[in-house]
Chains A and B, each alone.
Chain A
Amino acid sequence: MSSLYEEIATPPASDVPVRRVTINVNGEPRTVDVEPRLLLAHLLRQGLKMTGTHTGCDTTNCGACTVLFDGRPIKSCTMFAVQADGHNVETVEGLASASELHPIQEGFKEEHALQCGFCTPGMMLAAKALLEKNLNPTEDDVRWALSGNLCRCTGYQNIVKAVLWAANKMRAESI
């Protein structure tokens, strides 16, 4: 329970189906009652108040809503929250540890890989998924892995540099 009291202004009609689900978000189990039609992106943003995950289109193209689902990148606007019951979800809020930024976050700042910041969380998580599979990607590998995430501001070149910067640091740290 995260609150002692929460008034429901308009109680859902009896024919509105509601399910209780438990989703492990950034390592912490979160239990919520949701309608099946609630998109995972909306549960994260409005339900769990984690607004780092963004919605930027209505046709599953832009990738601003990318989160990691059991370690793999998915577009959270194209999954219902109920589908995440019992699964692990990682959002941008879970990237940094208590004391340190993730090398990807550091790399994005170091290489000026963001301007308005709207595509950034999704972009970083897609990059994280890539580096977990391949810690020594080429520039082409990076561009290909990020081709499901649209950016309007940067022209992608610095994003690629940032991911390679992070890969470099992560390789060095893993020795």
Chain B
Amino acid sequence: MSLDEIKIGGMGASRRRVEDNRFIRGKGNYVDDIVLPGMLHMEILRSPLAHARIKSIDVSQAWKVPGVQLVLTGEMMAARNLAWMPTLSYDTQAVLATDKVRFQGQEVAAVIADDPYIAKDACSKIIVEYEALPVIVNPIQAMAPGAPLIRDDKENQLNNKVFDWEIGDKAKTDKAFAEADTVSKLELHYPRSHPSPMETCGSIADYNRATGKLTVYMTTQAPHIIRAAVAMVAELPEHMIRIISPDLGGGFGNKVPVYPGYVISILASILTERPVKWIDDKTGNLISTHFARDVYLQGEMALRKDGKILGFRMHTISDHGAFFSDAQPSKFKIGLLHSTFACYDIPVAHLTASGFYTNKAPGGVAYRCSFRVTEGMFFQERMMQAAADDLGMDQAEFRRMNFVKDDDFPHRTPFGFLTDSGQYGKCLDVGLEAIGYKDFHQEKEEAKKRGRLLGVGISTMTEPLGAGNSREYDILGIKMFDSAELRVHMSGKAILRTGAKSQGQGHETTWAQIVAHELGIPADDIVVEEGDTDTAPFGMGTYASRSTPVAGAAVAMVSRKIRAKARKIAAHLLEVSEEDIEWELGRFYVRSAKENGVTIQECAMAAYSNVPDGMEPGLENNAYYDPPNLTWPFACYIVKVEVDPETGVWDVLKVVAVDDCGVRINPMIVEGQIMGGLTEAYAAASMQYITFDEDGNCIGSNYMDYLLPTAWETPGFELHEVVTPCPHHPIGAKGIGECATVGGPAAFVNAVMDALKGTGVRNIDMPLMPNRVYEAITTKKDISGMPPVRLDA
């Protein structure tokens, strides 16, 4: 009689995805698929130099190309007060360069033409005269006395520093170090990489002069933030701006910020009175849009001789490129990097951070980083390995003895975070068993006879997902709640809209599962929409794994509001008082007579045809969810590798992932997120990075240099699950989308470093390309990846 929750696509069902129906038919609706009548095409001219004064720009020949409708320069933008725009970090960023170019690939001019081929032809006819300036490609150069000033456009900017920041208790930490038996140190560079979704960024701006409304189709993970930003920059009223984010071909944080291309396309549409489409090419995307990481991390750990960690201190130096435009909660200058070491019971810590401008693309917070938690957790697990080695302790046992214990939650970290729940030891056990940790030593010896070096690397971490509570989290002053709006139709079918924006996470499938869980309406009966600011309730978008924790919670809460009203309707239909009503999945019934009940569908119909006196008709509501805390999933990733010491090539033999993200809405989708993240971890560890030569030329601005692994190199993954529900989340779920990207890289690197144990090498900066591994083995020295890269002439 009662509904089977799995059968109706409720929580726990590996429901096949609704989105797939259109994608497998090639009927997705990505921005470049959209055609508007009279649409024009825009191409951006980018700077070939990393730092140079612009002496002149001659666009006369570009205007003459047949089919060209408009050519825009920085000067023309400046005349309309649009040459610069505010960033999400309270800095400014050039839209089109006026005085100088400050990174290779910076936007210098734009052509709007009848088709993209003509736009490109015209771009190639623009003549720009540059006067080269000295180039800065790393923060050490940036902070050197006498270094050229990059942001001479900013009043009161006397050097290349962006910020200084600090958290923790220095005095107590110093005391812990004074009392330590040993101190372990580590220094490394987390290299610059790029989220590089398969689909680049783009927009179609359509300003309708007759109505005064601006509609922009845009690759954005946060349409409402964009609407607010466009209102500010374009000085148009908020209600006359409609941002539509259709299907997105991946995001990974690359599609959160406001890019010059969007702003230029909007102005172009206003000026030409026609829709203007701008689709960036892969080079433009890699060379100019938000990169990720590029942080130098130094740290020390105070240790008792039995292995107990007494305290730690860290200093980070972050490279922000030419403009400080990180998309992160405004209170924190290095995101949530200070969640580092949160899974370990450490009483005191101190962290200082400095940020610098360089002649490189802007960004830093992107690529599934959970707001720089990738950097924090990578350093954490590399430091744990170094400390275990220094102590002569086993990697796993050193971690285990320092874990926060199961009964110690909620647990306050030295930097003020409150971790919520976990079974860290159990996850470690599952991982060690799965990788065959006990027998590894023998495996290693046998491989040695074949001339190969085996290594096992462990990475364990908990991370803060679901920004975040209004007391502490905001972007540009807007609080980081999220929202859901649910309307149930008279036949019991429903439409749900949220303030999130899926880029492949499957919200159309999973949000319906939450509603099915709460209301017993089959998931197939619920359509889910996101991304149109005219219809979606206000939300801060999808990134930093915040959607299940925040928007998902809002979906649960709005469903409960609906159920509360439906209960009243049920009481009316069953002619009993509300106190006599019980609920089972999809149905209200009279407690004393269970066979006497009404389905949720019958309540829905009644909402339109038979409501009790005094009740408004209809069955819909909304919910805005201010999360009380972040959620804290835990992961244990263990990797086994084999290194060929003659070439430095290493192969992955096995990858084991144990993830505890609380209650899983759709296990299939959760596993998909983990595997995608593990692949990014493998990519970062093995081949994927952006570097620069001493002239600031970007190496990594196309797929020949920026290497993504293919199906051939990418290893297989063995996934395991532990479930510790989140105590404060309405459905007990925690975030998961980024965990493997955050925790994974250290497992791969630790494995290679374990294989190299005994060579005396402490660190090889990622990516651990074969040449770096070989050099480490033969020189027995640490390998740094700090740019500039050396290139023989």
A residues contacting B by CB (< 8 A) are 9-10, 13, 35, 37-38, 45-46, 49-59, 61-62, 64, 91-93, 95-96, 101, 105, 108-110, 112, 114-121, 124, 142-144, 146-160
Contacts and interface: CB of A to CB of B under 8 A. Distances in A.
Contact of A149 (B27, B703, B711): B711
A51 to B, nearest CB: 4
22 contacts: A13-B66, A52-B25, A57-B703, A58-B702, A59-B703, A59-B704, A62-B703, A95-B26, A108-B24, A110-B16, A116-B248, A117-B504, A118-B199, A120-B23, A143-B710, A144-B711, A146-B711, A147-B712, A150-B708, A150-B710, A156-B710, A157-B716
A-B complex: 7 closest residue pairs judged by Cβ atoms? A52-B26, A117-B23, A118-B249, A116-B504, A115-B504, A92-B26, A155-B675
Given A10-B114, A108-B24, A156-B711, 7 more contacts: A45-B33, A52-B27, A56-B282, A101-B25, A116-B247, A147-B710, A157-B714
A101 B24 contact: yes
Contacts of B676: 115, 152-155
A158 B506 CA distance: 15
A151 B198 contact: yes
Overall SS of chain B's interface = loop
Nearest to B114: A10
Interface string B1-39: 000000000000010110111111111101011010000
A159 B252 CA distance: 20
A128 B528 CA distance: 32
Nearest to B677: A155
B668 interface: yes
A144 B33 CA distance: 30
B590 to A, nearest CB: 42
A91 B26 contact: yes
- Give the interface size class of chain B: 35 or more
Contacts, number: 179
B198 A56 contact: yes
A150 B708 CA distance: 7
Contact of B712 (A55, A92, A143): A143
A109 B26 contact: no
Query: Secondary structure of the A side of the interface?
Result: loop
B199 A114 contact: no
Contacts of B249: 54, 56, 116-118
B67 interface: yes
Contacts of B251: 116
Contacts of B712: 143-144, 147
A167 to B, nearest CB: 15
B252 A121 contact: no
Interface in B677-712: 677-680, 702-704, 708, 710-712
B281 A58 contact: yes
B672 interface: yes
Contact of A108 (B20, B247, B671, B672): B20
A92 B25 CA distance: 6
Contact of A61 (B20, B24, B28, B704): B704
A153 B17 CA distance: 15
B117 interface: yes
Contacts of A38: 117
Interface in B377-401: none
A79 B675 CA distance: 33
B703 A124 contact: no
